[in-house]
Each structure stands twice: as structure tokens, then as C-alpha cells.
Amino acid sequence: MTSIIQEVRQELEMSIDEHTRASGQRFFKEEVKLYGVKTAQVSRIGKAYLQQIKAMEKREVFALCEQLFKSGYLEESFIACQWSYAIRAHFEPEDFRVFEKWVQQYVSNWATCDTLCNHTVGTLVEMYPEHLKNLKAWANSLNRWTRRAAAVTLIVPARRGKFLQDIFELADILLLDQDDLVQKGYGWMLKAASQAHLQAVFAYVMQHKAEMPRTALRYAIEKMPQELKSRAMAKE
């Protein structure tokens, strides 16, 4: 297993682009550990090992992912997310605890948070909705990334029209959050839900717009028709 990690790291080091490394930090407010490899190349490197990954036991794949996450490098975290999502057909309810550990211990920026939660964690919750209650516990966390994770985990299910009541309950918990990245996260969740439930999400926004931070409000209404946007943004 260690040889795979070594090979991946060698390929990342060989793919370093100084311009990418120099410009990458500007997308983040916090300090991020970067090789400086373009996203498309990171994806190609991870993809090259997928056949090998899919032939392994799930626990072995999770162990590889954990090694990648532990490095702290953004590019390695993306490959960990790619590999964990690749074995989604084998997810079981108890795997939530593995993903929860990753969120709480290794996620330290919005890009890793969203990549892991949109795909790996979101897929597991869609498969096993009993874990929706765990997302509501995440929404009460002191950790900003765990709170954002609670919302962005439901982006893909929200677009499919699923879990609307749970989405509103999560938004209720996060409604007054002072962290702008959490506000953007739950606003994005509401925006995704509006694609299948436009009137219900609009009604929610109108009910809460006086107290909802403007950042969250703008995200939530982004895909709505202009007339509804204007009504939501109007000061009363």
C-alpha cells in the first residue's frame, strides 16, 4: 500500500507548476499546503490508480485515503476524495464514522470540504438517510468546516429534490451563523434545493430574509427568476 502512496507523491512532485503553486493560495483566506499541480492533472494521477483501488478491500482503500489526508496537501486530499468515491458501491452505514473522522480531523479548507462532502459523504447519506440526524449534529459543531460540511453534504441530493424538510432543518440551525463560509455553504444548499422545489425554498427565504445574512440570502436565490430575486432582496 505504501508503494502506491509513494508513486502518487512522486507523480505530483513531477507535475509541479510554479505558476499554479504561486497563484493557488489566492483562492483561500487560510494558509493551504500545496504542491502546485493543476486540478486536471491531479485528477489524471488519481484516476490512473482506480483499477488497482477498486480491486482492494474497502478498509485498505480507506487506509490509503487516510494517509493522503494526513499529509495536509490539497492535491493529496483531492485524490483521497476521488478514491473513496470510486468505491461507493461498497459503502455501508458504519462507514459514516470513517468519513466523520476525516471531516473533523483533516478538513481545513473549503475545497477539501466540498470535494469530500459533495461526493463521498453525500452519496453515503443518500444511500443511508438515517445519517441525516448526524448532519444536524455537525451543524452545531464549534468547527467551521464541520458546520459547512453539514450543508454541502446535501448539495447533490437537494438537486434531485430529496430531503427538503431536513434541508430546512439544517438551514434553521445554521441560519444566524457568523462565518461567511458556513453562510455560503447553507445558501448553496438552499439554492440546490430550489432547483426542484422553487416555491418552497422561496417561501423559506421570504420567511427568514430579515434575519438571514445577506451572503446566505444571495446564494440561496441565485438560480431563481429575477422577479423572485427582487422580492427576496427588497428591504421592507
| pLDDT block averages, 10 residues each, the chain of length 236 | 89 93 87 94 97 96 97 97 98 98 97 97 98 98 98 98 98 98 98 98 97 97 97 88
- Output the pLDDT for position 178: 97
5/60 Cα distance (integer angstroms): 12
Determine the Cα–Cα distance for residues 185 and 215; give it in Å rounded to an integer.
10
Which structural domains are found in the chain, ordered by start? Answer: 1-90 (no CATH), 93-236 (1.25.10.90)
- Which string of b and e fits 193-214 if b means at least 16 CB within 10 Å? bbeebeeebbebbeebbeebbe
pLDDT of residue 29: 85
pLDDT of residue 31: 87
Q: Are 132 and 98 in contact (CB under 8 A)?
A: no
pLDDT value, residue 202:
98
pLDDT at 21: 86
Residue in the block written with cell 480507506: 62
- Residue by residue, DSSP assigns the chain as -HHHHHHHHHHHHHT--HHHHHHHGGG-SS--B-----HHHHHHHHHTTHHHHHTS-HHHHHHHHHHHHHH-BHHHHHHHHHHHHHTGGG--TTHHHHHHHHHHHH--SHHHHHHIIIIIIHHHHHH-GGGHHHHHHHTT-SSHHHHHHHHHTTHHHHHTT--HHHHHHHHHHHTT---HHHHHHHHHHHHHHHTT-HHHHHHHHHHHTTTS-HHHHHHHHTTS-HHHHHHHH---
